[in-house]
Amino acid sequence: MSAILDKPKLTPADLLRLPKDRRYELVDGELVEKPMSAVAGAVNAKLAACIQRYAETNDLGLVFSTDTGYCCFPNKPNQVRKPDISFIRRERITPALWEPGHLRIRPDLVVEVVSPTDEVAEVDKRIRDYQEAGVPLIWVVHPESRQVDVHRLGERGEILGEGEELRGEPVLPGFRVAVREIFQPLERYGAGGGTEQHGSKPSVE
């Protein structure tokens, strides 16, 4: 009887060679598709524009799009994450940043906008990966509940509702945006609501 062989692990280099028409992350050498719903896409674009405008006006650093891959996870050489929005502070940008391939330095800010198809366990795994990599600030945006989970390294998380403000300290000094404003496109065009996320909402610790 022949032995059953384990499926070979993919590498970050393999991920770069895949067709670009679908969005994949690499998790322990396995491909994991990361689609984005229309609702999440609208919210993502709105928040990315707010961050981009503020960062450029104040010359704070660079904002990166959803297709940017990060391979910066300790003890996980076959891990590539693609946050929905990411930001790197100006003082951490070096010529090495522009080398071909995935970014090897961790971002200073990560934003994940949750789509209805996102599994809670997978969202939690992404958060843990970024925290283990030392990302100082993580925002997890929930269009369905109109809330944002804020994770600061070494601190307890907090949940912000529509009546509160999202602040960029210490990564984006002075940045402030009303949580309600992030979800403005949904109000304006009647989107969002009524679609339940798989499982329960990720915990904020």
Per the domain annotation, does 22 fall within a domain?
no
What pLDDT is stored for residue 78 in this prediction?
94
Would you say residue 60 lies in a domain?
Answer: yes
Distance (Å, whole) CA 179 – CA 181: 5
Cα dihedral 118→140→81→137 (10° resolution): -170
204: in domain: no
In this prediction, residues 36-54 reach a mean pLDDT of: 96
Q: What is the CATH number of the domain that holds 98?
A: 3.90.1570.10
Instruction: Summarize pLDDT for 148-196 with one digit per residue, the tens.
Output: 999 999 888 999 999 999 999 999 999 999 999 999 989 888 875 543 3
In a domain, 116, yes or no: yes
Q: Are 108 and 136 in contact (CB under 8 A)?
A: yes
In a domain, 203, yes or no: no
The answer to whether 168 touches 150, Cβ cutoff 8 Å, is: no
**What's the total number of domains in the chain?**
1
Q: Does residue 86 lie in a domain region? A: yes
| Full residue range of the structural domain in which residue 166 is found | 38-189
What phi and psi values does residue 91 have, to the nearest 5 degrees? Answer: -70, -15
| 201 closest CA partner among 111, 116, 107 | 116
- Of the listed ranges 37-41, 59-63, 117-121, 174-178, the least confidently predicted one is 117-121
What distance in Å separates the CA atoms of residue 44 and residue 46, rounded to the nearest whole number? Answer: 5
Report if residue 23 sits inside a domain: no
Q: Within a domain: residue 11? A: no
